Amino acid sequence: MEEKEEYIPGETVVCLAEGLPTPEIFWTDENSGIVIENATFIITSAMTGQQKYTCAASNEIRGVIHVETKTLDFRVKTSSEHFTFIYSFNMRLELKCL
């Protein structure tokens, strides 16, 4: 899983795990408790500000459940934080809100 401090809407985050039997992988939104039952989730424009998601991979061997987790803390950069204005006389001004 590639870790970044900042993502933009439309980017995807993938959690990979290997094991026998093949582990089930899911993400949990640590702020809301919502579970995404997929190894991949897409950053959306509804995700604003600081986010915290945990990827979990689990499998069962001889009646014992094994779980490995990795937590990802990141910020979602919205389109309103980066504006580019292009003037008709080819002068470019770029503003970034911090």
pLDDT digits (tens, 9 = 90+) for 57-93: 999 999 999 999 999 999 998 765 544 444 444 444 4
- Name the strands in the sheet holding 6-7, side by side, starting at the edge strand that comes first in the sequence: 6-7, 64-76, 49-61, 24-29, 35-36
Please state the domain extents for the chain. Answer: 6-96
What CATH number should be reported for the domain whose range is 6-96?
A: 2.60.40.10
| pTM attached to this predicted model | 0.74
Q: How many residues does the chain have?
A: 98
pLDDT digits (tens, 9 = 90+) for 16-32: 998 889 999 999 999 99
